[in-house]
Amino acid sequence: MPAEDNALHTALLRLFDGNESMTNRALELMRPHQTQLLVSLIKESKLPAAPLSDTEIRIILGALSLIDSNNSKHFSGVGEREGRVHSRLVKERSFGFAHGIGRSGDLMEIQPKSLGSAILQRLTNRYALQALWACGIHKDAAKRALVLPCATGMAIMLALRALAKQFPGRKKVVWLRCDQKSALKAVGLAGLDLIVVENELSGVAVKTDMSNLRMAVDLHGPDNILCILSTTSCFAPRLPDDIVAIGVLCKSLNMAHLINNAYGLQSSKAVALINETVRVGARLDVFVQSTDKNFMVPVGGAIVAGPDGNLVDRIGMVYPGRASAAPVLDLFITLLGLGRDGLLSMLQQRKDTFKYLKQRLESDLPQGMRLLCTPGNDISMAIELSDHTTMLGSRLFHKCVSGARVVVPGQKVYEGDGVRIGSFGTHTEAYPCAYLNVASAVGQNREEIDRFMTTLVKALT
Ligand SMILES: *Cc1c(COP(=O)(O)O)cnc(C)c1O
């Protein structure tokens, strides 16, 4: 084998976790149409610093999809799942990848009919891990990352099931109240018992109440508790949970610690908290983040990562059946189209727009309105509303403002999954005022903020 081929063989073997026969088969299938670009991507197995052009990405996708059996001219399918696609539109939309990812019972198992899809998936997992690092996550906190073909709530459910296999007999999940339904429904769907821990007020901010948490753990018994489920990215005035203290508690009492980091990759504070938890040796098993919220792809994917690569793998193993490759494909295309440099500037731009939005809110709000001070939350902000402004939500919505939410204490109740949570939306039973939530997430630009501010000021005066 020439040296050039040897390096490719080694790289592919690494991507395929040492599976020699699949590696050789993939190399053989690749050879007739392998491009230099694809070969070097596989050899590097690293997210390039510079963005790739759409044309380059198309060439890579074309070369990879030709490896899958459904795109081979010499193919005769006599099975019940041959990756046939009727519509040309659908074929285009999926770039010829029709076999999905995984095999029944394991997302990371290689399907011999679709080695191109397998390479795509494995490169994407690597890129996802490197994207996490580029966002500032320390290598000790994320040793492996797995892109799951479902959004955050479902990914949390899978992570819970993987943990439950590790701790048979433990049924309770202690959840630090964060009023968003995905995580709490995930606990119910996983067949586990949800225990809600109330937050405390600290000035106008809502934060983790460690003494409430300790009481709940004592009451239910650490030996019955599968994990503590905390949240790092949330709507102001709630702050990210004190995951360092929670991790210390989990470590001392041998309970797992699962973190919902939904849109936290773009938040320096959430990232710093995750790193600090691992740095001080506190417990962190897995953290889960959304692909759409952090990387601007359509809804449908999540990334699970953590310091224990085996646990990350086991999450892929609880997935029943084959899965859609679409969320993987979207992330692959997007990360290559951004490159590491593009990702870094996207994160920087978000920090700038957050600062700008905050500035505008501080200077332009009408008399009597105030921005609630929650410096621990660097994505979302809350503006105190007087009672007569609660119609504001629908007024803003009709002016095409999306994402601004009016929250009124005591208005909603969540009932389900064995719990009843009062004043749902405010993260605590006892928030003193109504408020408007706004956020700066990746992709937002100054013009949007300017338009929003004009609409808001008009609506309020
Ligand atoms: C978006 C979000 C989720 C996840 O929602 P999915 O639709 O399942 O991705 C979970 N928790 C919080 C705090 C969120 O903001």
**Would you place residue 390 in the very low, low, confident or very high pLDDT band (cuts 50, 70, 90)?**
low
Pairing of strands 419-422, 193-197: unpaired
Read off the pTM.
0.96
Q: Kindly report the number of other CB atoms within 10 A of residue 80's CB atom.
A: 5
Q: Is the CB of 30 under 6 A from ligand 1?
A: no
> Which residue, among 417, 395, 414, has the nearest Cα to 404 in the 3D structure?
395
Instruction: Give per-residue pLDDT as tens, 115-160.
Output: 999 999 999 999 999 999 999 999 999 999 999 999 999 999 999 9
pLDDT value at residue 69: 87
Lowest-confidence segment of 25-29, 30-34, 49-53, 245-249 by average pLDDT = 30-34
Distance 290 CA to ligand 1 centre (A): 7
User: Which residue's alpha carbon is nearest to atom 4 within ligand 1?
Assistant: 152
User: Which residue's alpha carbon is nearest to atom 13 within ligand 1?
Assistant: 234
Beta strand ranges found along 149-290 (DSSP E): 172-176, 193-197, 200-202, 205-207, 225-231, 256-260, 286-290
Q: Is the CB of 261 under 6 A from ligand 1?
A: no
Instruction: Give per-residue pLDDT as tens, 63-117.
Output: 999 999 888 877 788 888 888 899 999 999 999 999 999 998 899 999 999 999 9
Residue with the larger pLDDT of the pair 71 and 175: 175
Look up residue 211 and give its amino acid: S
**Would you place residue 387 in the very low, low, confident or very high pLDDT band (cuts 50, 70, 90)?**
low
Lowest-confidence segment of 273-282, 290-299, 397-406 by average pLDDT = 397-406
Q: Give how far the C-alpha of residue 323 lies from the chain's centroid of Cα atoms, to the nearest Å.
A: 17
pLDDT value at residue 73: 79
pLDDT value at residue 43: 96
pLDDT value at residue 91: 95
**Which of 182, 189, 265, 299 is the pocket-test mutation for ligand 1 (most atoms within 8 Å of CB)?**
182
pLDDT value at residue 74: 79
Instruction: Give per-residue pLDDT as tens, 300-358.
Output: 999 999 999 999 999 999 999 999 999 999 999 999 999 999 999 999 999 999 999 99
SS3 category, 75: coil
Distance 10 CA to ligand 1 centre (A): 39
**Which of 148, 157, 180, 414 is the pocket-test mutation for ligand 1 (most atoms within 8 Å of CB)?**
180
Q: Kindly report the number of other CB atoms within 10 A of residue 212's CB atom.
A: 16
Distance 385 CA to ligand 1 centre (A): 25
pLDDT value at residue 316: 97
**Would you place residue 368 in the very low, low, confident or very high pLDDT band (cuts 50, 70, 90)?**
confident
Q: Is the CB of 262 under 6 A from ligand 1?
A: yes
Task: Transcribe 3-46 into DSSP letters.
Answer: HHHHHHHHHHHHHTTT-HHHHHHHHHHHGGG--HHHHHHHHH-S
Average pLDDT in the chain: 95
Distance 294 CA to ligand 1 centre (A): 11
Distance 182 CA to ligand 1 centre (A): 6
**Would you place residue 216 in the very low, low, confident or very high pLDDT band (cuts 50, 70, 90)?**
very high
Q: Kindly report the number of other CB atoms within 10 A of residue 181's CB atom.
A: 13
240 and 234 Cβ atoms separated by less than 8 Å: yes
Q: Is the CB of 290 under 6 A from ligand 1?
A: yes
pLDDT value at residue 170: 97
| C-alpha distances out from residue 38 to 42, 59, 127, Å | 6, 8, 15
Instruction: Give per-residue pLDDT as tens, 1-47.
Output: 566 689 999 999 999 999 999 999 999 999 988 889 999 999 999 99
Q: Is the CB of 338 under 6 A from ligand 1?
A: no
Residue-level length of the chain:
461
Q: Could you identify the atom of ligand 1 that is nearest to the CA of residue 231?
A: 13
